[in-house]
Amino acid sequence: MRRLLARLRGDAGMNTAEYAVGTLAAVAFAGILLKVLTSGNVQSALTAVIDRALK
């Protein structure tokens, strides 16, 4: 019985609030990454790198 209570009170893993914060952080990071990768400067730099690699 003590083992069961110890396992139930353990702090292994994330709870719902931590999942929500983690999800929000992932979505925010994805949004920032999308903005950076779709900007004109980054697109032209990536195009230049690809062009040089193919020549």
What is the distance between the alpha carbons of residues 25 and 29, in angstroms, rounded to a whole number? 6
- Averaged over 17-43, what is the pLDDT? 93
Write the secondary structure of the chain as one string of H (helix), E (strand) and C (coil): CHHHHHHHHCCCCCCHHHHHHHHHHHHHHHHHHHHHHCCHHHHHHHHHHHHHHHC
When pLDDT is cut at 50, 70 and 90, the band that residue 36 belongs to is very high
Q: Tell me, what's the pLDDT at 10?
A: 62
Threshold 0.75, pTM exceeds: no
Q: Tell me, what's the pLDDT at 42?
A: 92
